[in-house]
């Protein structure tokens, strides 16, 4: 359990650092919520789920890229009826 908690905290901190340093977000202003979830039970890997302050109905997922071991955006999901109205303000097309 101790390792699991440390792994979760590391993913969270690396995601926040990526968003701040690589994407120029202001963590206090731009990020409404960040949570960490188990991405793969088999590999014991985690991903961060980020909700931005200006887009509360969309969740952006970040995880380590296998090829570089650096954080990147890996998926987007909707909350409620967001599918029809969302424009994905924070989608990364890289």
Q: How many CA atoms does the CB half-sphere of 31 hold within 13 Å?
A: 21
For all residues of the chain together, what is the average pLDDT? Answer: 88
Reduce the DSSP state of residue 66 to 3 states and report it: coil
Q: What percent of the chain has pLDDT over 70?
A: 89
Residue ranges of domains in the chain: 2-85
What pTM, to 2 d.p., does this model score?
0.88
């Amino acid at each position: 359990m101790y390792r699991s908690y440390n792994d979760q905290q590391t993913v969270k901190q690396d995601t926040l650092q990526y968003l701040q340093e690589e994407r120029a977000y202001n963590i206090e202003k731009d990020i409404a919520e960040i949570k960490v979830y188990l991405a793969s039970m088999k590999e014991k890997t985690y991903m961060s789920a980020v909700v931005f302050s200006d887009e509360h109905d969309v969740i952006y997922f970040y995880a380590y890229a296998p090829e570089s071991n650096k954080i990147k955006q890996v998926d987007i999901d909707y909350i409620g009826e967001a599918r029809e109205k969302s424009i994905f303000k924070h989608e990364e097309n890289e």
